[in-house]
Amino acid sequence: MSSVLERPAHAGFVVEWRDGFRIGVAQVDAEHRHLFTLVKSLSMANVQDTLGELLDYVVTHFTNEQELMEASGFPDFRQHLALHEAFSAQVAEFLSSGSEWNEDRIQELRKFLNKWLVGHILTHDLRFGRWYMEQGRHAQAHPVTAARPKTGWFDRLLGRA
């Protein structure tokens, strides 16, 4: 069993962004990527500023993602909103625990944020991404826009071309 003392200084828990985290919705992916960058940059030297920026960006990101879900008619929108709210409550609870900042507490926060992000993205956001792309395919297959010239095999079959 390794103790805190045996752990090399700054050998923190950091998850780097990787393409495997993409859900296929460009705006959401870009925002997720930025979240990982902010979580990674948390340190004792900048904790107050970076944490403020990070929480601000979390709110922006959740708002954007929720708007996209609601506007596109994502059927699991309500459940997803509840997951974001539960996360916000967990972060608030952690921050209000009142301990002084030190390396261990920053590591603990970073670990929590990274784990939550990875789990949430790969399960729930990815589900949205797949659904969203599926809608796009339907939209392309059944365009709402007015008639385009029809010269496909179906028209030839019916003798229209």
User: CB of 97 within 8 A of CB of 109?
Assistant: no
Does 29 participate in binding Fe ion (rule CB under 5 A)? no
Which is nearer to Fe ion, 106 or 126 (by Cβ)?
126
CB of 30 to Fe ion, least distance (A): 14
In whole angstroms, give the CA distance from residue 148 to residue 140.
13
Smallest separation, CB 52 to Fe ion (Å): 21
Q: Among residues 35, 30, 28, which one has the least CA distance to residue 54?
A: 35
Picking from 110, 102, 120, the residue whose alpha carbon sits closest to that of residue 39 is 110
Q: How far is the CB of 83 from Fe ion (least distance, A)?
A: 7
Q: Which residues, other chains included, contact 128 with Cβ-Cβ below 8 Å and sequence gap of 6+?
A: 23, 25, 28, 65, 69, 74, 76, 80
Closer Cβ to Fe ion, 107 or 125, answer by number: 125
Pick between residue 76 and residue 108 the one whose CB is nearest to Fe ion.
Answer: 76
CB count, 10 Å around CB of 65? 22
The minimum distance between CB 157 and Fe ion, in angstroms, equals 45
86-125 residues in contact with Fe ion (CB under 5 A) are 125
Nearest residue (CB) to Fe ion, 29 versus 125: 125
Tell me the number of residues near Fe ion by CB under 5 A.
1
Binding site for Fe ion (CB under 5 A): 125
